Amino acid sequence: MTEHAEEIEKQYKTFVQRVVETGEVWGLTQDDTWATSSSSEFEDTEVILFWSEKEGAAACAEDEWKSYTTESISLVEFLENWCVGMYGDELLVGANWDTNLIGKEAEPLVVALDVVSQLKAAGKTLEFTQYDSQEEFEQQVIEALEAE
């Protein structure tokens, strides 16, 4: 793994750990539009950017996003609505990208599973609104990934 790839992976792990600690995820928005970027890995694929810290999101509010503001969503909303919805729309999660817009591009359901694994490791359980339990959410995500 190159040094660059190691740093990207470290940023991603920090994202997963911090969103579990704080229970919130940050993005950049303007009206109802969230900051997105074209994937550097997959042609014709969009990446929606999320950060584990308000400061990380705010640091990227420049150039085309200079009129965007930071907005937080709950971790449950991120998992249930964003990760599941983005999976259906074939979008990717950009987690903790830096100001050069470099960071990990990840499948939303893989991010969801990583977050659930971190929740379990931290002994935390979220109250889901669209699923009966965290376990049911995890099982449905696993089944969706296995069906691919």
Tokens, residue 129: 């609104």
pLDDT tens readout for residues 71-118:
999 999 999 999 999 999 999 999 999 999 899 999 999 999 999 999
The order of strands in the sheet holding 69-74 is 33-34, 24-30, 69-74
Check residue 36 and give its pLDDT. Answer: 95
CB 108 within 8 A of CB 92: yes
Check residue 122 and give its pLDDT. Answer: 97
Check residue 3 and give its pLDDT. Answer: 65
Percent of the chain with pLDDT over 70: 98
Check residue 148 and give its pLDDT. Answer: 82
**Dist. CA 113–CA 102, nearest whole Å:** 22
Contacts of 144 (CB under 8 A, 6+ apart): 87, 109
Check residue 90 and give its pLDDT. Answer: 94
CB 97 within 8 A of CB 144: no
Residue 148: Cβ within 10 Å count: 7
Mean pLDDT in residue range 46-57: 97
Check residue 2 and give its pLDDT. Answer: 58
Check residue 93 and give its pLDDT. Answer: 98
Check residue 41 and give its pLDDT. Answer: 87
Cβ-count burial 39-69 (b if 16+ within 10 Å, e if not): eeeeeeeebbbbbbbeebbeebbeeebeebe
**Dist. CA 128–CA 57, nearest whole Å:** 25
Percent of the chain with pLDDT over 90: 89
Mean pLDDT in residue range 51-64: 95
> What is the overall mean pLDDT for the chain?
95
